Amino acid sequence: MRLAKYLALTGCCSRRAATRLIRDGLVRIDERLANHVDSVTLIDTPIGQRSIEQIYVNDEPIRVVEAKAYWLFNKAVGTDSRLLAHLPNSLLHLLPESPRLYPVGRLDKDSRGLLILTNDGELTHKLMHPDFGHAKTYHVQVDRPFDDAFLVNMAAGVSYKDVVTLPCIMQRLAADKYEITLTQGLNRQIRRMSQALGFKVIDLKRVSIQSLQLGDLPEGSMRPLSSAELADLLDSVA
pLDDT: which is higher, 46 or 111: 111
* Predicted pLDDT at 47: 67
Omega before 224 within 30 of 0, i.e. cis: no
Q: What is the rounded CA–CA span in Å between residue 152 and residue 135? A: 19
Average pLDDT of the chain? 91
* Model pLDDT, residue 74: 97
Q: What is the pLDDT of residues 189-209, one digit of tens each?
A: 999 999 999 999 999 999 999
Where does the pLDDT of residue 14 fall: very low under 50, low under 70, confident under 90, or very high at 90 and above? confident
Please state the rounded mean pLDDT for residues 84-111: 90
Q: Between 20 and 46, name the one with better pLDDT.
A: 20
Domains of the chain: 3-61 (3.10.290.10), 70-130+211-237 (3.30.70.580), 135-209 (3.30.70.1560)
Q: How many CB atoms lie within 10 A of CB 204?
A: 22
Q: Is the pLDDT assigned to residue 59 strictly greater than 80?
A: yes
Tell me the average pLDDT across 79-96: 92
Positions marked catalytic: 108
Is the confidence at residue 212, as pLDDT, over 90? yes
* pLDDT score of 135 more than 80: yes
CA distances for 24 relative to 20, 35, 160, 178, angstroms: 6, 10, 34, 44
Would you tell me the crossing angle of helices 121-128 and 227-237 to the nearest 10 degrees? 60
How do residues 154-183 score in pLDDT, each as one tens digit? Answer: 999 999 989 999 999 999 999 999 999 999
Distance from C-alpha of 155 to C-alpha of 182, rounded to nearest angstrom: 10
Adjacency order of strands within the sheet including 60-61: 32-33, 27-29, 55-57, 60-61
Answer whether residue 111 shows pLDDT above 90. Answer: yes
